[in-house]
Chain A
Amino acid sequence: MFGPTGVGKKLRGMFCGSEGEPGRVLGSSLAGAVDVSRQTIYAIEVGKFDPILPLAFGTGRPFALRIEEIFHDEDLVKSTAILNQ
Chain B
Amino acid sequence: MNQVKRPENGYQSRIRANVIRLFRWNGAWGAATALMAFGPKLLWNRTLVFTLLAVGLDVAVGVGMILANKNYLAELDELQRKVQLNSMGITLGVAVVAGVPFSVMDAYHVIPFHADIAYLLILMSLTFAVSNLYGTRRYR
Point out residues on A near B: beta carbons under 8 Å: 25, 28, 31-32, 35-40, 42-43, 48-49, 51-52, 55
Contact = CB atoms under 8 A, between A and B. Distances in A.
B80 A55 contact: no
A6 to B, nearest CB: 15
Contacts of A25: 6
Nearest to B79: A40
Interface stretch (B8-16, B23-31, B34-42, B44-52): B8-16
Contacts of A28: 6, 9
Contacts, number: 48
Interface of B: 6, 9-12, 15, 77-80, 82, 136, 138-140
A42 B140 contact: yes
B78 A52 contact: yes
15 contacts: A32-B9, A36-B11, A36-B77, A36-B79, A37-B11, A37-B12, A37-B15, A37-B77, A37-B80, A39-B136, A42-B139, A43-B79, A43-B140, A48-B139, A52-B78
Contacts of A38: 12
A39 B6 contact: no
A40 B9 contact: no
Contact of B139 (A43, A51, A55): A43
B6 to A, nearest CB: 6
A40 B11 CA distance: 12
A68 to B, nearest CB: 20
A17 to B, nearest CB: 14
Nearest to B80: A37
Nearest to B6: A28
